[in-house]
């Protein structure tokens, strides 16, 4: 049984925070513990937004702010699945709900190429931040070879509509893309609206 109220509360808290400040550092510091609290509970994500695909990872939209100030997404990674090297162009927070993620951050070199850092592992309950200011180029993959992993991402914009880039790490060349989403409908955050 899912308790969608946890997601509804997180959406409301995020909306209040983005309304109160545009300072990225303040926002990330205030939002990170709230995301950590959300992913500490694994009883709220509806099953429809936790389904893996055999061919590639899934990016399910859970909520998009009507003013495009933020979006909340579940990423579902099947065994062996991951992203190409890519950027976001907005701030973001990642929290692992189930399983484990492997992340490699990239930094641009003087010759234009990208250098990958040491792989980092995020396990269930852990969070990390990305942004153009603190480091925005990375590649993510499932850290588990035998089962799916799920992470919850919060972005400072509607990430499925933002024109971003994927990169060739050796040359540093980029190609633009818009990711879109794997779903056509979002969860009902108010299923108990007729309850007394």
Residues 92-141: tens digit of each pLDDT: 999 999 999 999 999 989 888 999 999 999 999 999 999 999 989 999 99
C-alpha–C-alpha distance, residues 38 and 62, integer Å: 13
Q: What is the pLDDT of residue 2?
A: 73
What residues contact residue 196 under an 8 Å CB cut-off, 6+ apart? none
Task: Please give the CATH number for the structural domain made up of 5-177.
Answer: 2.60.120.10
User: Taking the model in full, what pTM does it have?
Assistant: 0.94
pLDDT at residue 112 in the model: 86
pLDDT for the residue 193: 58
Range name among 39-43, 145-149, 181-185, 192-196 with the lowest pLDDT average:
192-196
For residue 195, the model assigns a pLDDT of: 55
Give me the percent of the chain exceeding a pLDDT of 90.
Answer: 89
CA 148 to CA 101: how far, in whole Å?
10
Q: What is the pLDDT of residues 148-189, one digit of tens each?
A: 999 999 999 999 999 999 999 888 899 999 999 999 999 999
The pLDDT of 50-56, averaged and rounded, is: 94
Q: How far apart are CA 163 and CA 194, in angstroms?
A: 39
CA distance 172 to 61: 29
The first and second tokens of residue 54, run together, are 């055999």
φ/ψ (deg, to 5) at 73: -135, 145
- Per-domain residue ranges of the chain: 5-177
């Amino acid at each position: 049984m899912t308790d969608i109220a946890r997601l509804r509360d997180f959406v409301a808290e995020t909306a209040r925070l983005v309304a109160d400040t545009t300072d990225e550092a303040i926002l990330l510091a205030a939002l990170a513990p709230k995301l950590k609290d959300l992913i500490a509970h694994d009883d709220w994500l509806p099953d429809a937004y936790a389904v893996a695909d055999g061919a590639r990872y899934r990016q399910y939209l859970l909520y998009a702010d009507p003013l495009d100030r933020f979006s909340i997404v579940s990423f579902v990674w099947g065994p062996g699945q991951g992203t190409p090297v890519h950027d976001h162009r907005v701030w973001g927070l990642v929290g692992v709900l189930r399983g484990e993620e492997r992340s490699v951050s990239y930094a641009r070199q003087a010759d234009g190429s990208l250098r990958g850092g040491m792989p980092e592992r995020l396990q269930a309950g852990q969070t990390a931040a990305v942004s153009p200011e603190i480091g925005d180029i990375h590649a993510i993959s499932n850290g588990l070879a035998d089962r799916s992993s799920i992470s919850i991402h919060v972005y400072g914009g509607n990430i499925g509509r933002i024109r971003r880039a994927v990169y060739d790490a050796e040359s540093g060349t980029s190609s633009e893309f818009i990711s879109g989403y794997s779903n056509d409908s979002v969860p009902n955050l108010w299923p108990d609206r007729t309850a007394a």
